[in-house]
Each structure stands twice: as structure tokens, then as C-alpha cells.
Amino acid sequence: IDGKHVPIQSPKHSGSEFFNYKGFYSIVLLAVCNANYEVIYADVGCQGRVSDGARDKAFAMTDYLIRPFAGNHAPGSIERVFNQRHSAARSTIENVFGIMTKRFRVLVGPITEPELARLVVMTTVYLHNYEQVGEGDMAIEPGQEGSSSLIDLAGVRIRSSNQ
């Protein structure tokens, strides 16, 4: 699980709602992927001021989401090995974001309006999966990447945040 800020133009009368810590206006794509680089869940559209990452304390511990251990740990310790594997697993979603950005340059932005950005991002997630499973002609192999409504598109659960 990780997030990506998708640049948008500054919405009128939005104040700092869409302004992120990186210094630009954005909406957030929060996604989960599998080992085949397919997005299996996406939350699209939170304002840019919302964090984009599943780092340390950004999420609560649950039965299905485990955070890395805090602090430094001795080489070879269970905690250190877990943190290294946790980091390696998270790099998969970072690679997916790289593939998507290379494949769909519209994600470089800025997109004109938040609602349009939500639609564009949801569409790119769907198209990414379509291409990734080899049904399209733009497949990129892993490593080559440089109120709410809930919908199901070809097995991808996508949540569109309208906040």
C-alpha cells in the first residue's frame, strides 16, 4: 500500500485543501497491488493535504495491515529482517506508480479539475491492469518503469473520495 500525489490546477476557493507537503496542488491515489503489478484496490480523490504514504504511523495496525518496527534494530534480528521485507514488498506499489506514470503521461499533470482528475486516475488504474495482464498492446514488464462511491472495474475495487 502506498500513495501517489497526482498534480491538479489550484481549484477556486479551495484554500489549502488540495495543497500538499511537496508544494503543489494534488489529489491522492492510494493503492494496493499484488506481486503481478496489478492494482487490487485504489482510493482516488482525497485532497492533496492528506498524506500519500503507508509509512510507520500513517495507518493503524490491523489484522490486515502491519507497520514496520520503529527504531534501529540489530543486523539479523527478526525486527530488522521484517522491516527489510516490508520495504521490499512496498517497493512493488512504487514500481506500479512508476509504470503508470510512464504509460499515462497525463498523471504528470496538472489536470484541470479535481473531479476530472478523479475520473482520469480511475481510468488509468483500470487501463493499467488491462495492459498489465497482457490483454492490451502496451504491457510493461516489472522493472521497466522509470461522500464516496465504490465501484468494481474488472476485479479492482476503486473508491472515489468526494471530500
pLDDT in tens, 14-23: 889 999 999 9
DSSP secondary structure string for all residues of 26-86 = EEEEEEEE-TTS-EEEEEEEEETTS-----GGGS---SS--PPPPS---TT-HHHHHHHHH
Residue 161 has pLDDT above 90, yes or no: no
pLDDT in tens, 93-142: 999 999 999 999 999 989 999 999 999 999 999 999 998 887 655 545 55
Which stretch of 30-34, 65-69, 88-92 has the lowest confidence by average pLDDT?
Answer: 65-69
pTM (two decimals): 0.74
Return mean pLDDT, the chain.
82
Q: Where are the domains of the chain?
A: 2-60+91-161
pLDDT of residue 159: 56
pLDDT of residue 146: 44
- Mean pLDDT over 140-150 rounds to 46
At residue 93, φ and ψ (nearest 5 deg) are: -70, -35
pLDDT of residue 111: 94
